[in-house]
């Protein structure tokens, strides 16, 4: 199975990734997807502005995952959720994993805007991890 993990370097994204590792098989592919140049949804939101920074964030966590099949993907988009969903459709993923919140500074009542959009729009199961 191909598993897409929405990864922005936040603690929630790291928790989601490591939680997902407990659920998958060693032969499954983990697609670590980071979106750069996202338009902010709030003034407090941090934007990952460069592919170099995104690659550095991914490399830091991938170094701990040598036992797994990892595909690193960095996409440019103004809409994180739609880009992740499109990527998932393109590769035929079976599961999307995301943190409940990302790098935004505003706490949502239930879910962050990206995780909420993924759950609402996805045709495949979405696992949201706190």
Is 69:82 a contact under the CB 8 Å cutoff? no
Question: Residue 52: what pLDDT?
Answer: 82
Give the number of other Cβ atoms within 10 Å of residue 125's Cβ: 11
CATH annotation of 2-129: 3.40.50.620
Question: Residue 37: what pLDDT?
Answer: 66
pLDDT in tens, 24-73: 998 999 999 998 865 555 555 555 567 888 899 999 999 999 899 999 99
Q: Where are the domains of the chain?
A: 2-129
Q: Is residue 54 helix, strand or coil?
A: helix
The alpha carbon torsion through 27, 5, 70, 103 (nearest 10 deg) reads -150
């Amino acid at each position: 199975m191909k598993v897409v993990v929405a990864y922005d370097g936040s603690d929630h994204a790291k928790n989601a990734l490591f939680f997902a590792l407990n659920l998958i098989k060693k032969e499954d592919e983990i697609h670590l997807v980071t979106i750069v140049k996202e338009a902010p949804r709030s003034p407090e939101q941090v934007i990952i502005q460069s592919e170099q920074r995104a690659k550095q964030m991914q490399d830091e966590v991938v170094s701990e995952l040598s036992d797994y099949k990892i595909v690193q993907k960095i996409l440019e988009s103004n809409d994180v959720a739609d880009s992740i969903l499109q990527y998932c459709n393109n590769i035929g993923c079976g599961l999307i994993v995301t943190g409940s919140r990302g790098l935004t500074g505003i706490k949502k009542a239930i879910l962050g805007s990206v995780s909420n959009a993924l759950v609402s729009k996805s045709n495949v199961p979405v696992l949201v991890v706190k």
